[in-house]
Chain A
């Protein structure tokens, strides 16, 4: 990626590394195509035309300025969460907790946004976001600690924490921070100084989108251009070797979880501050699970996550149009998401297939030797 002036050797090396990358990429591509085919099959089996369904989805996502805006704002939290997941997945922790971390982030941001009344806007906005990041970071950090100290599965713990977070949010919205006159289960509205500005007229695009965009680079830098990222990747690929070489595995496990929580918490904060302007139960609407599929689909790389987030953002934006026009239920997107996870996991089978049909004998032997 980074181009250093001079030393042509360095560039050659970089090209060689891409060799392995191409196979992985083609494996993921095949998996993705299969997802689309199976989805088309499901639509067809329920008596509708898949191509029409896809086209309505596309329209719903991209046909008008407003629609594109919808796609972008739906992509925003997905991108933030999946970037966060890239961090902890790279450290070897399979977190399913984006949902709960986002909820806690949103909760903390709401509390700041509603009740910190004496702060000017320039301070209030960052404070709300920081509160959100802390909320998500702590929520994830607890799971990281339990895993690092006692080896308790982060997978089951993050799922439990998701449910607990959801109930905490519902409790808060029907109790301590419920909006008078106490008819709806939601919090009071944020102070208007805590709203994120609308960036483009005629759409709902808000400032959070910029944060998401910047996060792409932050996460890339963290993982490949910082010593912390190197440590986390080492821990994720081989904990024993990392420990033997003096790397503090415990610290890295906890930190990677906490950092992933920070991004997910920020996603929650941004959703509340930019879109809903108040806390409501269920505002996370399954985004957390989408984020997991996105991180996998994107090969745990910020760029891949960006493309995959856009894809899912478009899906979510276009689904309601599709449902309106053709009565194809929007839950189709959940099906796509599940298929993505399952088939992307299989990508090594597909990439082996690609290697086999495109390779010379020499490469075949080397691949088999690796196995």
Chain B
């Protein structure tokens, strides 16, 4: 009984944490290059909407995925222009972009589906890695969607790119000391836009993983703060890919516990479980005060020649 509970918990944590992790990895790229990506909530929403819409139009979830990614890239690009070229307060513009995207997705819901919103579209199927799935307890996690496997494979790939390649080194330099990078011929602006592009891809992927991957439908407000959780995951995860993964799983675990606690009959109102991820974020932010040091130049626009 207990083992079943744990494996069920694990599976649910992974499933719920996966979209957060994808968006978190996107936020991570931006952070490393020196941009605070606070627009993930909106980017995720656009990705989620267009992924479902694409599948609705073509019946093919992969086309939907591509549309979701494209939507994520375009939305994130707006953040990029505002942060890099126009040089405004990155957090405020992120919050504004969130409003815009959420409002837009709600608006498009009525416009794009003139015959009414379908209750389901073609989603992704589950892929079981048979040999690994038979392992007790953990075996459950090897029955996931393709998207989930891809997501987790991205973690070591991103760790390698950021830490072991010259591209990653240049990217990190842009986030720590952009003037030093600039003096060595690294194009800080171009690197930051690249980070925005990658971030948009991951944001769209995350949204698609949520809507198309898990529920095969888009509804207003379905993102429900996951974009902000992704942003928190970067801070909690100490600005590293593995940390982001673990933090995202933690959030997933919190949501999973919420449902399961109720089922067991523990008499705590459901709202307290719903609150838990947000309270957790705040607690973690307090506990990492003074210790977590992100990229030094994060949030500051780059102006050439200025000290």
Contacts and interface: CB of A to CB of B under 8 A. Distances in A.
Given A342-B78, A346-B82, A160 B99 contact: no
B98 interface: yes
A197 interface: no
B23 interface: no
Interface residues of A, number: 44
A310 B100 CA distance: 20
A21 to B, nearest CB: 20
A327 B116 CA distance: 13
Contacts of A332: 103, 107
A164 B86 CA distance: 34
A331 B100 contact: no
A156 interface: yes
Nearest to B91: A155
Contacts of B281: 156, 160
Contact of B228 (A159, A292, A337): A159
Contacts, number: 129
A156 B111 CA distance: 32
B88 interface: yes
Contacts of B38: 155
**Interface of chain A, helix or strand or loop or mixed?**
helix
Interface stretch (A75-83, A166-174, A224-232, A268-276): A166-174
Contact of B225 (A94, A163, A296): A163
A167 B274 contact: yes
Interface string A133-172: 0000000000000100011110111011101100110110
Given A152-B286, A156-B232, A345-B82, A163 B100 contact: no
Contact of B285 (A152, A170, A329, A346): A152
B98 A338 contact: yes
A329 B278 CA distance: 31
A350 to B, nearest CB: 11
Nearest to A150: B289
Given A94-B92, A152-B289, A156-B281, A335 B100 contact: yes
Interface in B22-52: 38, 42
Interface in B70-123: 78, 82, 86, 88-89, 91-93, 95-104, 106-107, 109-111
Contacts of A46: 107, 111
A338 B82 contact: no
B275 interface: yes
Interface in A319-368: 327, 329, 331-342, 345-346, 349
A201 to B, nearest CB: 35
Contacts of B86: 345-346, 349
A262 B165 CA distance: 51
Contacts of A211: none
B93 A327 contact: no
A293 B269 contact: no
A150 B231 contact: no
* B: contact size bracket: 35 or more
A168 B271 contact: yes
Given A155-B91, A334-B102, A338-B100, A164 B107 contact: no
A167 to B, nearest CB: 4
B135 interface: no
A156 B285 contact: yes
B88 A94 contact: no
Contacts of A56: none
A20 interface: no
Most buried by B among A146, A153, A175, A338: A338
Contacts of B109: 329
Q: Which of A151, A336, A337, A342 has the most CB of B within 10 A?
A: A342
Interface in B193-209: none
B151 to A, nearest CB: 24
A337 B289 contact: no
Most B CB contacts (10 A, CB to CB) among A159, A161, A170 go to A159
A289 interface: yes
B279 interface: yes
B116 to A, nearest CB: 13
Contacts of B102: 334, 338
Nearest to B110: A329
18 contacts: A146-B282, A150-B286, A150-B289, A151-B289, A153-B285, A155-B91, A156-B228, A168-B271, A168-B275, A170-B271, A174-B271, A336-B103, A337-B103, A338-B100, A339-B100, A341-B95, A342-B93, A345-B88
Interface of B: 38, 42, 78, 82, 86, 88-89, 91-93, 95-104, 106-107, 109-111, 225, 228, 231-232, 269, 271-272, 274-275, 278-279, 281-282, 285-286, 289-290
Interface of A: 42, 46, 94, 96, 146, 150-153, 155-157, 159-161, 163-164, 167-168, 170-171, 174-175, 289, 292-293, 296, 327, 329, 331-342, 345-346, 349
Given A42-B107, A94-B91, A156-B228, 11 more contacts: A96-B95, A156-B285, A157-B285, A168-B275, A292-B95, A329-B109, A329-B111, A331-B104, A331-B107, A334-B107, A346-B86
Closest 10 CB pairs of A and B: A338-B100, A334-B103, A341-B96, A338-B99, A331-B106, A171-B271, A335-B103, A345-B88, A167-B271, A160-B278
